[in-house]
Chains A and B, each alone.
Chain A
């Protein structure tokens, strides 16, 4: 007679290892994509705020093209479509490695960067223009005034929305299951089909997603308490 909720299944043994491996993959996907998306987002935000019209437009086009297409379609394109466009040698090199995870990281990074760049941009715009003008008048270049005067102030305003984008990134990693990345959702479904204990498998995944989400939300709250936005 098996219990209604078999906790042991989750705490020890093969299935436990599968699920934990999935959790680690999900966390790595989040970490790597975040590390790549942040600098990319700052560059895109700066491009959109640059004085050159052509750059502004290409930044706008990039952000809108990515945000208006579901992540699932991005993943399908990067996994099934994009490798076909590569030269054969490079494609074979890629297929010999972890092509699923690579495609997922590319898609997640671009998707997250597009959203984050909008937060960074509005953060920068919240800093009064006089600050930038004063920096320029003192002889700083465009890049130097951004880097030394505007960005340090803008970042403080931007971090709370960036944390909530990180939360979205964490939840979005679940969609990578579509292209067969062995992340948490994939592993939960695998345990489900191996044991028919769907309740346990999905409860584990849900608790992990929810727990991590609460941690991230908590981090945002802590940051806002610790570093409140100073108004000049």
Chain B
């Protein structure tokens, strides 16, 4: 600071002396002559290099998130190694070293060979180890156990390619091929994400930890917008004086003007208030919502305000732009609007991000202004038009689920000997007329069942086949939303619970208010929101879930069925006497080898689960839920 003052003082003194000299040549004590000028010019030019060094260090500007987009779900299987490691181990095949990629891929290959080629594990293992299981020589060689032959070339290749990405990708593709996974013609050979990875789709992440609401203001920072201009000043002076060109020296004066402009005065204090209104806070899912934002300047003149509204991370803008650059005088305000497409669930707006700059562009200050707005969208009531294929299970309540015991009902079951007290209407009068024998008709007894819908909302399930479409949890919730009223109107008692460590349980019940409760819970419960995962390490949630489930209940699980753990939990629940039906939205894609391997793995898990007697309704994306239900009813 003192150093600067001294320089300024020296400058002022020299300036005065020079002016005096201009007026009265020869009167001042300045020791200058023609020879000193070039020396000074050279000093100036040397200083240029010092300044240039600084200019290169340009800081990053304040970043703004892509608020227009909704957070895109990843396709499962972006990590090939983890996908391979997650294949269910083949029971009779314990000799393989798990933990290495090669071991995991061998296990995967044996797994698909036993299921899809009907080999027994020993045979499959032999084929994998001698490399005869696939036509892809490189994949087979890489996976084969030992000496792939006397060929030096092969041996060299194996040595060089140990663990290379290409070889793994080829093996993954070969495994997927055995499992009949089709290759996407637009696919890519590597595991790079195809969709330009959008880092952030909301402004909430920009808030500091200590945020308490209201207005958060960052320190203003240099933009170094004019960083090069002092170099121009110095070059003009140096060159102009050296070559005695007054025009160039004067041009330097222009640059001095801009350098001063860049430093002119500190930016004024920015003070803003924001109000946001939405056309409706409780739209139907899929409905368009108009958002109007008004930004008012409570402070002095702001020549450059760059405003980005805090569109909820989970919602996408369909029309209009939630961004604006405006100049506002004190007290003035600006209003802009845009349209959102509502999706099922509760969506909170983030703070509005504002970047304020002075006229000269030389600094910028980031502000985050809160204006709390929440939209809650509940999907319209639309029960499925097909009957939900529940498991057979007798209870004491009259209802519409067919059971395996005879009695009153509609569908013919058996004929038995007449017992006194049987209803006249159930006596088989045709037989009585033909043979004189008195028999009673038995019908399939229909009974109500207690059902709990389990929705898999663990973090790993927030994946989808297409970054622009719904993820598996959303599809699960959508399906549950439609199955729930359908089961209720069939007379069942229906409850809802989260499949995972999140706390969410609605005990089975019937009635209109229960129907509404369930609908709201599915639409808005925080347990189903992405990123709302509680402690992942709570492994005891299965036991807790089991404790809460009433006896004599059957379960419908909505899960993408991507990992072995899900299958184990389903088996456990079955073992404890809860018949489970799985409705599984398929979130797998086929663009990269890892994704194809994941699809093969999911097929394997589905097959395994079906073999234990659990019906799995595989629901491919883009098909109506009814179709999937109907197919299940027909094949049963």
Whether A associates with B in a native complex is: no
Chain A residues engaging chain B, CB cutoff 8 angstroms: none
Chain B residues engaging chain A, CB cutoff 8 angstroms: none
